[in-house]
Amino acid sequence: MASLTYYSSAFLSRSDFSVCGRVTLLKRSFRQRCFSIRAEVEYVNADEAKELVAEGYAIVDIRDKTQFERAHIKSCYHAPFFIENQDNDPGTIIKRQMHNNFAGLFYGLPYTKPNPDFVQSLKTQFSPESKILLVCQEGLRSTAAARKLEESGFQNVACITSGLQSVKPGTFESVGTTELQNAGKAGLVTIQGKISVVLGTVLVCLLLFITVFPDQAEQLLQLLPTS
């Protein structure tokens, strides 16, 4: 067999060797891609999530501290994907003030930043083979977190597509002062009736006017009577 290989290769030109080399490289590249395929994140609804928990999936709540304290699934593990940003550099202070005037005012959300210890905190609690169900309020954070865990080697990750806001009361045993689906509601949006609509509209218009036309707003404020 060795002599046959020798004589057959003797009839190959330099260009033929080049082609063979490319084929070999393509085969190696294909094999490398095959071995690099990872398990995909599983996206489920609330009822399917309950079935996964029954199968042994551990629930990891990645919401911030305020939403978690309002309501969370009993016996879950809390690992916030975002944490409150208390940095005091000028840029952060300005952004935090703008946030507090809108999202913070109407939805009671703190100004946050990515948690640099998120992945490491899970690695200390779970093995790469552990079955993990990520939950957040709307489903966006858990999707991003699932990708991050997948990139870090976790093989069995699932998350609820629309978050806890889609979970009906009684689906999971919960702890807190409100239902899981309402844990994202705070601030002015909790005020019921037409008052909240009118007040919210007025405040948004006022804040936009001050932000876009600061000079004119200052002139108007000077016209107000002072005591």
Mean pLDDT of 110-135: 94
HEC string of 208-225 equals HHHHHCHHHHHHHHHHCC
Of 57, 113, 104, 64, which is closest to residue 85 (Cα–Cα)? 113
Residue indicated by tokens 């409150």: 84
HEC string of 101-159 equals HCHHHHHCCCCEEECCCHHHHHHCCCCCCCEEEEECCCCHHHHHHHHHHHHCCCCEEEE
pLDDT band, residue 85 (cuts 50/70/90): confident
What's the chain's average pLDDT? 78
pLDDT at 170: 92
pLDDT in tens, 95-116: 887 767 666 666 667 788 899 9
Q: Please say if the pLDDT value at position 181 is more than 70.
A: yes
Of 137, 172, 161, 132, which is closest to residue 148 (Cα–Cα)? 132
Q: 187: which DSSP letter? A: G
pLDDT at 105: 64
Q: In the annotation, is 159 catalytic? A: no
pLDDT at 54: 96
d(CA 167, CA 173): 11
d(CA 29, CA 110): 47
d(CA 212, CA 98): 13
pLDDT top residue among 169 and 35:
169
pTM (two decimals): 0.65
Q: Please say if the pLDDT value at position 36 is more than 50.
A: no
Whether the CB-CB separation of 26 and 18 falls below 8 Å is answered with no
pLDDT at 33: 43
pLDDT at 198: 65
What tokens were used for 184? 């994202």
Mean pLDDT of 116-142: 96
pLDDT at 84: 86
Q: Please say if the pLDDT value at position 192 is more than 80.
A: no
pLDDT top residue among 167 and 34:
167
- The catalytic residue among 20, 136, 159, 205 is 136
pLDDT band, residue 153 (cuts 50/70/90): very high
What residues contact 161, with CB distance under 8 A and at least 6 apart?
43, 44, 45, 139
Torsion of CA 151, 156, 162, 168, to 10 degrees: -150
Mean pLDDT of 175-190: 82
What tokens were used for 177? 């002062």
